[in-house]
Amino acid sequence: MGAVLVRAHPKQRRLHMSLFPLTPMNRRRLDNFRRNRRGYWAFWIFLVLFFASMGSEFFANDRPLIASYKGELLFPVFVDYPEDKFGGFEAHTDYRDPTVADEISAHGWMVWPPIRFANSTTKLDPPTPFPSPPTWWLTPEQCKQAFAAHPTAKPHADGGTCRDLEPEWLGTDADGHDVVARLFYGFRISVLFGLILAGISSVVGVFAGAVQGYFGGWLDLVMQRFIEIWSSLPHLYILIILSAILAPSFFVLLTILLLFSWVSLVHVVRAEFLRARNFEYVNAARALGLSNAKIIVKHVLPNAMVATLTFLPFIVNSSIGTLTSLDFLGLGMPPGSPSLGELLLQGTSNLSAPWLGLSAFAIVALMLSLLIFIGEAVRDAFDPRKTFS
Amino acid sequence: MKADAPLLDVRDLSVAFGSGETARTVVDHVSFSLRRGQTLALVGESGSGKSVTAQSIVRLLPYPAASHPNGEILFDGHDVLKMTERELRAIRGARITMVFQEPMTSLNPLHNIEKQIGEIIELHEGRGKGTRKRVIALLSEVGIPNPESRLGAYPHQLSGGQRQRVMIAMALANRPDLFIADEPTTALDVTVQAQILKLLKDLQAKYGMAMLFITHDLGVVRKIAGDVAVMQQGRIVEAGRASQVFADPQHAYTRMLLAAEPKGEAPPSDVSAKTILEADDIRVWFPIRQGFLRRVVDHVKAVDGVSIKVREGQTVGVVGESGSGKTTLGLAILRLIRSQGPILYCGRAIDGLSVKQMRPLRRDMQIVFQDPFGSLSPRLSVADIVEEGLLAQNSPLNAAQRRQAVAKALIDTGLDPDTMDRYPHEFSGGQRQRIAIARAMALDPKFVVLDEPTSALDMSVQAQIVDLLRSLQLKRSLAYLFISHDLKVVRALASEIIVMRRGKVVESGVARDIFAAPREDYTKALFAAAFSIETDASGAVSQ
């Protein structure tokens, strides 16, 4: 199937070759990756979700994308206009405020993103007390009450039905934030955190493993003992203690988790280096007079990269898992940040609002499953028995 | 059953790997037969399908990846290919037995000898009290001294030759009718090879079994086989009495094989030539540490006081059996491992230089390794591999000039420069070795260590590489240190030789004199084993 695909686009393939000189081995790996259909689809779905969440501001925001006011074209999503532009007096404009909205609609128009909430927008006129259920969940009775409770709402002549309410696809959480918006922003922050943490800890881990494996001897012995002691420390306790001392933020958490996560790759890389440093072509490179650094980068590292790349999706996964669990325990990101762990926590404390826990669970499960499927496909791609079959 | 009916009759056998479009036919309509007491040698270069043919006789191939599109294998009148797994098991190890090339991996490292051999006996004859006696009898039959005391030995405690003897004892345990030997001596030293071949011949004469002998070495065939079948690319191109085939080969390929032995004369020894490299009393001792404090209690003396002088345009051959310290000596002279003793390069002492100080000298001193598959990085193109040395030596050439230098090195080593953007796996073993030589030559060195550069190659390719090395030497007046266990190759290249054994020099001098009249017993035994596959009676060589 993969071969057929390649043959179908000869032009594209040639372009591909000229941009990245694919060795025949890498081409076979790419084909093997494609052959794992589940992993291949998971990869594309994940990419789409990832880039979509990068542009969360265009999908879920409490500001319009474009507005026209008195003949002037405005871009509120990029520019923070003061309210006096629209006849108010606040420093920032709340476009969701009915007064402002009416003012702009009277003198122009607005284009809103599909979800008119940002991650920390509080719903002003909830149909029920927070957490309020999705609007499609409400009974007509509840809707009528909602209109009655909010004099600013403009019911139709027949007293207002659920359709006239502002849509809440997945309801709000206990603080009145829209759940869909929270999920968008939470996904983004989780994936970014996972990728950055996995990236940095791979770089540190590969470097440490490379140095140990290539030079061996005392250096290796001392570092191995250090790593054994270091990795036998109880991580969670230390995390809890540290997050009590330091005010947690994205980068503080990243640094704390990095302290422990770099160890995971060292063993694999070290083993690869121990094996590869005695290869004849490494000896040949030494005889040619290459420096150690060059030998490591050019000849030995590519061997270790196979193991590293195979592990990477799983490291991303465990990083995301750690962040989510810290948030769930209330030790993670500062309050108010959009985080999937915090949403799960709200789900447990509001068991009468199942949309909180269920939607957070679905997103976490989807994200982790996609990454595991990708990881499996990557592992298949680098499997030498498959590569040479 | 008639007495003259063949024991094994292979008719029109084909073996294919894979299925559908990707199927490869490895053995192509092969027919031969074998009577009791007859020895047939299947000869061919690597990839000719000789081992696959042998393994299909007992159906040891990785089925269902392998398949037999046609043909039959009649053993004693029954078609092996149609037998059930149960019937096959009754034959394997009892009526048909096999000995493989690598005795270390063919023996289970966790079982002692008694258990390994006893298992085979009990498997086919049932458990009995006489097993230990039988094992001892078998061991003495295959020539293991003091068999009673060796019963508890594990494979790693035996030498390569002894391991192969144990394998043969296992194969003989049930008095087989057909004995298949798949390159049984290829992994062994020449002196041991001669002993094993003699043993096999004696045993065959004693028990009258049929023997199928698979080898790439025509010298071995000449020694052991009555009949020969020459295989090329899955087909038998010529078959007949060995004496007849050797005397009057009909097929071009057979003639090519027979002519493939390395020929040519080494340049005569010339003491007036400039000395390129001189080393005196080189020692490489590896410490043996014991006890809690890891005190050094003894040393493994890999190289123990070897002196050597290599002159411009000349070759010094270092010969010896495996473990004699030849390769270690080569690495020590290039300062790739630690050693004691002065090393002079063009009169300059290099034994005290640091790794950094050595780097510029690497341009003049190069090495070519044995295994052309391991010595080239699979991830770099040929151009990358060959120009690597130029880059490392901060050559002033720009990218285009470097490509020209690479092209020149490839042409010099007999390769097509248009192939420089391909990857090593697209080349054959001989071509790969040429690439490795081109990598060394691209730096225009003065001194090259050749560490068994022909050992991993087929006979016909060996001869070509020897010719290439000689012509490069002549053109560039290179100094070679040629390390090999293959005396035929050394004779074709070396002006002087050093015979090493257990880290020490046994005999050294002008190659022509030593080949004509070796002085030491060990050298004589080595030459007898290498050139005429004769065993030595004086006891100068070990088992």
Residues of chain A contacting B361 with CB distance shorter than 8 Å: 289
Token code pair at residue A134: 């999705």
Full 3-state SS string of B16-71: EECCHHHCEEEEEEEEEEECCCCEEEEECCCCCCHHHHHHHHCCCCCCCCEECCCC
**What pLDDT, on the 0 to 100 scale, is given for residue A46?**
92
Q: Is B392 on the interface with A (CB under 8 A)?
A: yes
Chain B residue with the nearest C-alpha to that of A284: B375
Question: Above 80 in pLDDT, residue A276?
Answer: yes
The rounded distance, in Å, linking the Cα atoms of B220 and A227 is 55
What does each of the 543 residues of chain B score in pLDDT, given as a tens digit? 445 678 899 989 998 887 777 778 888 889 999 988 889 999 888 778 888 898 888 888 887 778 888 888 998 888 888 888 888 888 888 889 888 877 777 788 888 888 888 888 888 777 777 888 889 988 988 888 888 888 888 888 888 888 888 888 888 888 889 999 988 887 788 888 888 888 888 888 888 899 999 988 888 888 888 899 999 888 899 998 988 888 888 888 888 888 877 777 777 888 888 888 899 888 988 888 877 777 887 888 888 889 999 999 899 999 988 878 888 899 899 888 888 889 999 888 888 888 888 888 888 899 998 888 888 888 788 888 898 888 888 778 888 888 898 999 999 888 888 888 888 888 888 888 999 999 999 888 999 999 988 887 887 788 888 989 999 998 988 999 999 888 888 888 899 999 998 888 999 989 888 888 888 888 888 888 888 777 766 556 665
d(CA B460, CA B464): 7
Please enumerate in sequence order all residues whose Cβ is within 8 A of that of A23, keeping only pairs 6 or more positions apart, or say none.
B379, B423
- How large is the average pLDDT for residues A355-362? 88
Q: What is the pLDDT of residue A34?
A: 87
Contact A25 B388 (CB under 8 A): no
Helix ranges, chain A (H): 2-8, 10-19, 24-35, 37-54, 56-59, 98-107, 140-149, 179-215, 217-231, 235-245, 250-261, 263-276, 280-287, 292-295, 301-328, 340-349, 354-382, 384-387
From chain A, the residues in CB contact with B336 under 8 A are 283, 286-287
Q: Is B432 on the interface with A (CB under 8 A)?
A: no
For chain B, what is the largest distance between any 2 Cα atoms, rounded to a whole number of angstroms? 80
The token pair that represents B193 in the structure block: 């090879």
The count of C-alpha atoms lying within 13 angstroms of the C-alpha of B104, restricted to the half-sphere facing its C-beta, is: 8
How many other CB atoms sit within 10 Å of the CB of residue A111?
11
Q: Is B375 on the interface with A (CB under 8 A)?
A: yes
pTM value is: 0.74
Mutation for A interface: B345, B354, B375, most A CBs within 10 A? B375
Which chain A residues are within 8 Å of B327, Cβ to Cβ? none
pLDDT tens digits along A166-225: 777 777 777 778 888 888 888 998 899 999 999 999 999 999 999 999 888 889 999 999
Nearest CA to B199 among B226, B161, B229? B161
- Of B413, B417, B431, nearest to B470 (Cα)? B413
Cα separation, A174 vs A171, whole angstroms: 10
* Chain A contact present for B18, CB below 8 A: no
Query: Would you place residue A385 in the very low, low, confident or very high pLDDT band (cuts 50, 70, 90)?
Result: low
Nearest CA-CA distance, residue B455 and chain A, Å: 15
Confidence of residue A9 (pLDDT cuts 50, 70, 90): very low
Structural tokens at position B341: 């003793």
CA distance A365 to chain B (A): 38
- C-alpha–C-alpha distance, residues A317 and B185, integer Å: 53
CB spacing of B375 vs A280 below 8 angstroms? yes
Q: Given A25, A281, A287, which is nearest B362 (Cβ)?
A: A287
Question: Minimal CA–CA distance to B373: which of A340, A360, A327, A281?
Answer: A281
Q: How many beta-carbon contacts under 8 Å exist across A and B? A: 64
> Cα separation of B286 and A106, whole Å?
92
- Report the pLDDT value the prediction gives residue B172, as an integer from 0 to 100: 86
Are B266 and B493 contacting, i.e. CB atoms less than 8 angstroms apart?
A: yes
**pLDDT band at A382; cut points 50, 70, 90:** confident
Residue among B239, B203, B245 at smallest CA distance from B222: B245
Enclosing H/E stretch for B90:
helix B85-91
Residues B439, A288: C-beta atoms closer than 8 Å = yes
With 60 as the cut, is the pLDDT of residue A151 above it? no
Interface of A with B (CB under 8 A): 23-25, 279-281, 283-291, 294, 298-299, 302
Cβ–Cβ gap B359/A24 under 8 Å: no
Element (H, E) at B76: none
Residue B358, chain A, CB below 8 Å: the answer is yes
User: Average pLDDT, stretch A45-71?
Assistant: 85
In three-state secondary structure terms, B358 is helix
H-type helices in B335-486, by residue range?
355-358, 382-392, 399-412, 429-441, 459-476
- Any chain A CB within 8 A of the CB of B499? no
Q: How far is CA A259 from CA A203, A249, A254, A262, A307, in A?
A: 13, 16, 9, 7, 21
**pLDDT (0 to 100) of residue B153:** 86
**Inter-chain residue contact A284 with B392, CB threshold 8 Å:** no
- pLDDT at position A20 is 55
CB contact under 8 A, B378 and A285: no
Could you give phi then psi for residue B77, rounded to 5 degrees?
90, -10
- Which residues from chain A sit within 8 angstroms of residue B392, using beta carbons? 285, 288-291, 294
pLDDT tens digit sequence for A13-48: 444 444 456 666 777 788 888 888 898 999 999 999
Q: What is the pLDDT of residue A48?
A: 92
> HSE on the CB side for B434, CA within 13 Å?
26
- Which residues are within 8 A (CB) of A236 and not within 5 positions of it... i.e. 6 or more apart? none
Inter-chain contact B392–A281, Cβ cutoff 8 Å? no
In angstroms, how far is the first alpha carbon of chain B from the final one? Answer: 42
SS3 state of residue B477? coil
Q: State whether the Cα torsion B197-B203-B205-B211 is positive or negative.
A: negative
- Tell me, what amino acid is at B55? Q
- The nearest alpha carbon in chain B to A288 belongs to B389
User: What is the pLDDT confidence band of residue A69, given thresholds at 50, 70 and 90?
Assistant: confident
CB atoms closer than 10 angstroms to residue A293? 9
Phi, psi of A172, rounded to the nearest 5 degrees: -120, 165
Ramachandran sector of residue A67 (left: φ over 0; alpha: ψ -120 to 50; beta: rest):
beta
Q: How far apart are the C-alpha atoms of A99 and A102, rounded to whole Å?
A: 5
List of chain B residues whose C-beta atoms are within 8 Å of the C-beta of residue A291: 359, 392
- Pick among A281, A298, A299, A309 to test the B interface (most B CBs inside 10 A): A281
pLDDT above 70 coverage of chain A, percent: 87
Please give, rounded to a whole number of angstroms, the shortest distance from the CA of B313 to a CA of chain A. Answer: 21
Separation of CA B146 from chain center:
30
Q: For position A12, what pLDDT does the model report? A: 42
Q: How far apart are CA B304 and CA B301, in angstroms?
A: 6
